[in-house]
Amino acid sequence: MVEKIKTGILGLNALLDGGLNERSATVVIGAAGAGKTTFANQFIRRGLMDGQVGIFISLDENKEQIIKDALNMGWEDILYFIEEEKLIFIDASGKEFQVFIKRELPDFVSRWEGSNVRIAIDPLTPVIWATPSRYQQRELLSLMLKELKKIGTIVATLEEHGNPNLSSPETGIPMYLADTVIHLRYNIGEDYRRELHIVKMRGSRHSERTHPYRIIKGLGIVVARGHKKMSSRENVEVLRRKIKEKMKKASPLIMSRIEKVLEQLEDEDIEDVNLEELAEIIAEEFI
């Protein structure tokens, strides 16, 4: 039986029948501003909170920018995890990707094999653009994902270009090679909205519907279930009480982890959020 791991994305595990399959590769596709890097950071941070090592492979942004993005989200403990060498960065930006994937990556994997780490690759797009041949693209991406699955579970991001129906040339090969594909739809026109759709998931049941999501400082991406909104007078303390009511038997360690999640929240961040639903989602993530 395939083991499931929690994604760290609040509200998503239930849509994936409990979480991502262990030692699988997930590709998260979305346009600029959809929350792809936030998704990757949340996935890594969830593992760090459980004592796993996180490996962040950057093929575009440098380490400093990734850290800045996490700090802007209110995740200041990233500095602690880096200092403790629990979070490791591999900056592959500006490198010859064929050299990196064929020569450097196998040596790295051999040192970590059997470690069961969490791996984020952000983004895959430079590999696609750097290799004009679709055969080479498939060869490089297949090798990279195959090697990295030897040491853990992967979440990779991919920039969406062209039609939002995922029919562009850049998305075809990564979608085929991935075990799971998640599409973050981001409409910034008059009908402003964010929606998440699980395109596929090998070896597991999953939701086939689209689900609205929000990005909230301190919490990150939160996938909603569509319940009626509560009064805007409810605030962080109300949310904290609701969570405690739902987790009366939780250990002090689990409650301290939840408090870490809540500590950056401000009342205005959740003034129009269904707090009953949000409390349920947070409780489910940490059960």
Tens-binned pLDDT, residue by residue, of the chain (287 aa): 689 999 999 999 999 999 999 999 999 999 888 999 999 999 999 999 999 999 999 888 788 999 999 999 999 999 999 999 999 999 887 677 888 888 899 999 999 988 899 999 998 988 888 777 888 889 999 999 999 999 999 999 999 866 666 767 678 899 999 999 999 998 766 567 899 999 999 999 999 999 999 999 999 999 987 544 444 445 899 999 999 999 999 999 999 999 988 988 888 888 788 889 999 999 999 98
Reference 262, options 241, 284, 233, 231; nearest CA is 241
Distance of CA 147 to the CA centre of its chain: 20
Asked if residue 121 lies in contact with residue 57, where contact means CB atoms within 8 angstroms, the answer is yes
Longest dimension (CA), the chain: 57
C-alpha 18 chain-centroid distance:
15
Pick from 220, 266, 257, 214: which is nearest to 239 by CA?
A: 266
d(CA 22, CA 26): 11
Per-residue tokens: 30: 């979305």
157 in Cβ contact with 39 (< 8 Å) = yes
Question: What is the pTM for the complete model shown?
Answer: 0.90
Cα gap 262→220, rounded to integer Å: 11
